[in-house]
Amino acid sequence: MSRHTINQSKNYIMKPQTSHHFFKPNVIILLALFLFVNLTFAQSKTEQITKLIDTYTEYKTFNGSVLVAENGKVIYKKGFGFANMEWDIPNAPNTKHRLGSITKQFTGMLILQLSEEGKIDLQAPITKYLPDYPKASGDIITTHHLLTHTSGIPNYTSFPGFFQNDSRDPSTPTEFIKTFSEMDLDFKPGEKFSYSNSAYFLLGALIEKISGKSYEQMLQEKIFTPLNMKDSGFDHHATILKNRATGYEKSGGQLINSRYLDMSLPYAAGSLYSTVEDLYLWDQALYTNKLLSKASMDLFFGEHVEAWNGHYGYGWGIASAPIGNTEESIATISHGGGINGFNTLITRAPSDKSLIVLLNNTGGAPLNDMAKAIRGILYNKPYDFPKKSVANTLYEDILANGLKAALVNYSTIKSSSDYNLNENEMNAIGYQLLQSEKINEAAAVFKLNVEAFPKSSNVYDSYAEALMTQGHNEQAIVNYKKSVELNPNNQNGIDYLKKLGVDVSEFEKEVVVPDAILQSYIGKYQLMPEFIIEITKNGSQLSAKATGQPMLDIFPQSENTFYLKEVDAKLTFNKNEAGDVESVTLLQGGREMTGKKM
C-alpha cells in the first residue's frame, strides 16, 4: 500500500512563498516612507523574527526554541509552542532538545583533541586503534575518511527495516559495529562523499578505545564542563531530565508522540541533547583556542571534500547560504540534525559572528527556509513568510464541517497565494481519513491529489487503494495502471493489478539502453543555483546524486527516461537539435524542474 509519504527535500521542490519586504518609495511620499522604513528597521529585528516564527508556529510547521546572535551578541532567544503538549509546558530558551546529527561536530572535536595530544593519527588505518575491525576494509579506512564521510562504510540508518525493526533495541558499540563492519564498502575510501552515520558511530568507538573512557565521559570532561554547557549531554531514555522536550511526529493533520528510539544506536552520530543557550556558548568558544589550537581549528573547519552545495569539514558543512529571497549569500559553517520527533539546525557566519540556532520538537520543520528568512532580517533584505497548508485546512474542515463544505472551501484556497498545496501532505491526510474509516472522504482527497499532481505515480496508487476499498475495482485498475506507467518500479501497483486479475506482462519487460547513450548522460546538471544532480556510471548502471542526497541508482523506463526505486521520481534527459544531451528534467511530487548540463 502507498501509506508512505515521499521524503522530498526542499532542493527538489521550489515552493512559492509570499514575499515580505520594504518597497522602494516614489518621490511624492519619500519622506513618509523614509521615516516608516527607518522606524521599521529600528523597530527591530527582534519583532520581525517574532512575527516570522509566530507565523510558522500558527501554521503548525515549527514548534521549538530559537536563538539568534549578531556580531557575536545574542539579540534574540525565545521558545514557541510546547515542550510537552500533554501538560501544556511551553518551549523556552533553556528547553533541552535532542540534536540528532549536530552531535557529529562534538564527535569531531573530541577526535581532534585526541590528535593534538598525539593519541591518534588521522591518516593511519583505523585497525591501528581497533585491531578487531575487519582488516579488508579497516586497513584502508582512516579516521580522516570517517570524519569526512568518505570511508565507503554503508550507512546503517539506510538499512531496510532499521527504524521499523532494530531501532528500539539497545546495543553496545562493540556489538552494533558488527552490523555493518563485515559489509562490502560502497566505494573505495577517499573516492567520494557519502553521508554515513556508521562512520561517526565508529568514531565514538575510537574515542572510547583510545581514551579508556566512555564517549559520554569524554564529552563532559573535554567540552561541556570547560564551556559551562550545563544543559547538554548524552541523552538516556531512563534519566529524569529537567526541561527535556518531548518529541512529536506528524500523522495526517495530527501530532502524535514520536516512535521510541534507543539512544545507544545514534551514539556518536546523533545521541546528544542541548539548548539554544548552550549552543551559543559552543559557538562562541569556536572563535577561540580554548578547546583546540588554531592549526587544529583550521582542520575542524577545513574544506576537505566537496559535499552538498559546498564542502564538508569534520562534522560541519561549509557553504554559501542565501540571504532572504535575494541572490545574495554569505559564507556559513552549518549542520542540521534529524532524529525521531526532532529536527535541528545550527548555522554560523564567521565573517560577522552571526548565529542562528533552531531546535524543533515536532519533526520536519522547514528550518533552512526559516534560517534563510532570518538572514534576510539580519541583513535588512527581503524575505519570505510561510504559507498555510491546504491539506491541513482541508482535513480540519472535513472533520468540523463535513466533506461537502470542505470541498467548497478547498476550491477557494487551493490557488490562493496565502496557501501551499503539497502532494505529500494531501496523501498523508487521505490515509489519516482512510485509517479512521472515513472511506468516502479519503477517496475524495486522493482524487483531488490526482487532479492537482497528475504526473505523480503515487497519487494514482493511493486513489486506487481507496477506490478498491469502496468496491470500485474497475476504476481502481485504471488508476493502478496509470501509477505503474508513471513509475515502473511500483511493485505495490503491479501486485494489486495481479490480485485484480490484470495481465501485467507489459509492465515487467526489461528496457536495455545502449552503452554509448548511457555514457552521454554522465555529468552534472544544475537545476537551481545550489541544487545540482550528478550522473555517474558503473558498468551499465547509471546513478544519480543530488545536492544533499545519497547516491541512488536509476533505471531505464525508456531510452531517455529513468526512474528511482527509493522515491517516486524520474529523470528525463533532453537533447538539442544536434543530438547532444543539454539538460535533464526531474519529475517528483508532480512537479518538474529542468537543469542544464554543466
Report the phi/psi class of residue 380: left, alpha or beta, with left for phi > 0 and alpha for psi in -120 to 50: left
pLDDT of residue 566: 64
- Report the alpha-carbon distance of residue 101 to residue 106 in Å, rounded: 10
pLDDT at 18 over 70: no
What is the percent of the chain with per-residue pLDDT over 70, rounded to a whole number?
Answer: 91
Q: What is residue 36's three-state secondary structure?
A: helix
CA-based torsion, 212, 213, 214, 215: positive or negative: negative
Flag whether 332 is in a domain.
Answer: yes
Looking at the domain assignment, is residue 31 inside a domain?
no
pLDDT at residue 7 is higher than 60 = no
- The three-point CA angle 452-454-458 to 5° equals 100
If you ran DSSP here, which 8-state letter would residue 338 be given?
E
Query: What are the angstrom distances between the C-alpha of 271 and each of 4, 88, 548?
Result: 26, 26, 22
Amino acid at 569: A
Q: b/e string for 10-29 if b means 16 or more Cβ within 10 A? A: ebbbeeebeebeeeeeeeee
Residues 233 and 369 in one domain: yes
293 and 407 co-located in one domain: no
Give the model's pLDDT for residue 509. Answer: 66
Stated pTM of the model: 0.75
- pLDDT of 131 higher than 50: yes
CB-CB contact of 74 with 101 (8 Å): no
Q: Is the pLDDT of residue 281 over 50?
A: yes
Say yes or no: 348 and 419 in one domain: no
* Measured distance CA(116)–CA(230) in Å, rounded: 25
What single letter denotes the amino acid at residue 40?
Answer: T
- CATH number of the domain at 497, please: 1.25.40.10
Sign of the alpha-carbon torsion through 429, 358, 16, 317: negative
Single residue among 333, 357, 378 that ends a domain in this structure: 378
Domain boundary among 378, 401, 416: 378
Closest CA to 378 of 117, 126, 69, 596: 69
Question: Residue 110: which pLDDT band, with cuts at 50, 70 and 90?
Answer: very high
> Across residues 248-263, what is the average pLDDT?
86
For cell 490515509, what's the residue? 431
pLDDT at 252 over 90: no
Is 453 domain-assigned? yes
Q: What is the pLDDT of residue 162?
A: 79
Residues found in the chain: 598
Whether 25 has a pLDDT exceeding 50, the answer reads no
Q: Does 75 fall in a domain?
A: no
Residue-level pLDDT at 17: 28
Segment 377-388 shows an average pLDDT of: 94
In whole angstroms, give the CA distance from residue 355 to residue 164. 36
Q: Which helix (H) or strand (E) holds 562?
A: strand 561-564
The tally of domains found in the chain comes to: 3
Same domain (yes/no): 394, 246: no
Q: 316 CB contacts (<8 Å, ≥6 apart)? A: 105, 108, 300, 301, 333, 334, 335
For residue range 54-85, list pLDDT tens digits in order.
999 999 999 999 999 999 999 999 999 999 99
Q: Is 3's pLDDT higher than 50?
A: no
Sign of CA dihedral 175, 178, 179, 181: positive
In a domain, residue 575? The reply is yes
Q: For the ranges 140-149, 300-309, 402-411, which has the lowest average pLDDT? A: 300-309
Greater confidence, 226 or 1?
226
Query: What is the pairing mode between strands 551-556 and 541-546?
Result: antiparallel
> Which of the four pLDDT bands, split at 50, 70 and 90, describes residue 8?
very low
Closest-CA residue to 337 (of 64, 92, 58, 568): 64
| 431 and 347 inside one domain | no
> Taking each helix axis from N to C terminus, what angle separates 30-43 and 45-58, rounded to the nearest 10 degrees?
70
What pLDDT is stored for residue 483 in this prediction? 87
Cross-strand pairs, 597 = 525
The three grid cell numbers given for residue 99, joined into one nine-digit string: 540534536
* Range in 43-52, 91-100, 504-513 the model is least confident about: 504-513
Q: What is the mean pLDDT of residues 150-162?
A: 87
Question: Of 323, 353, 378, which residue sits at a domain end?
Answer: 378
Which distant-in-sequence residues (6+ apart) come within 8 Å of 577 by Cβ? Answer: none
Is residue 313 scored above 80 in pLDDT? yes
Contact by Cβ (8 Å): 197, 205: no
Q: Average pLDDT, stretch 216-242?
A: 97
Q: Do both 531 and 495 map to the same domain?
A: no
**Which amino acid, 16?**
P
**Mean pLDDT across the stretch 320-339?**
95
- For the ranges 142-146, 241-245, 302-306, 421-425, the lowest mean pLDDT is seen at 421-425
For residue 205, give its domain range: 97-378
Q: What is the DSSP letter of 363?
A: S
Grade residue 508 by pLDDT with cuts at 50, 70 and 90: low
Given the DSSP bridges, would you call strands 272-274 and 73-79 parallel, antiparallel or unpaired?
Answer: unpaired
Residue 289 pLDDT more than 80?
Answer: yes
* Contacting residues for 27 by C-beta, under 8 A, at least 6 apart: none
H or E element in which residue 103 lies: helix 103-116
SS3 state at 484: helix
Cell numbers that stand for 68 in this block: 539568534
Do residues 473 and 500 touch, judged by C-beta distance below 8 A? yes
- Average pLDDT on 314-328 reads 95
Q: Is the pLDDT of residue 5 over 60?
A: no
Question: Of the candidates 358, 331, 333, which has an alpha carbon nearest to the alpha carbon of residue 347?
Answer: 333
**Residue 159's CATH number:** 3.40.710.10
* One domain for residues 136 and 274: yes
Alpha carbons 333 and 315: distance in angstroms, whole number: 10
Residue bearing the bigger pLDDT, 429 or 24? 429
Residue 20 is assigned to a structural domain of this protein: no
More confident residue, 346 or 431: 346
**125 or 501: whose pLDDT is higher?**
125
Q: Are residues 301 and 399 in the same domain?
A: no
Query: Domain check: are 361 and 462 in the same one?
Result: no
Same-domain status, 227 and 279: yes
For position 116, what pLDDT does the model report? 97
The tens digit of pLDDT for each residue in 436-460 reads 899 999 999 999 999 999 988 889 9
Rounded to whole angstroms, the Cα distance separating 236 from 214 reads 14
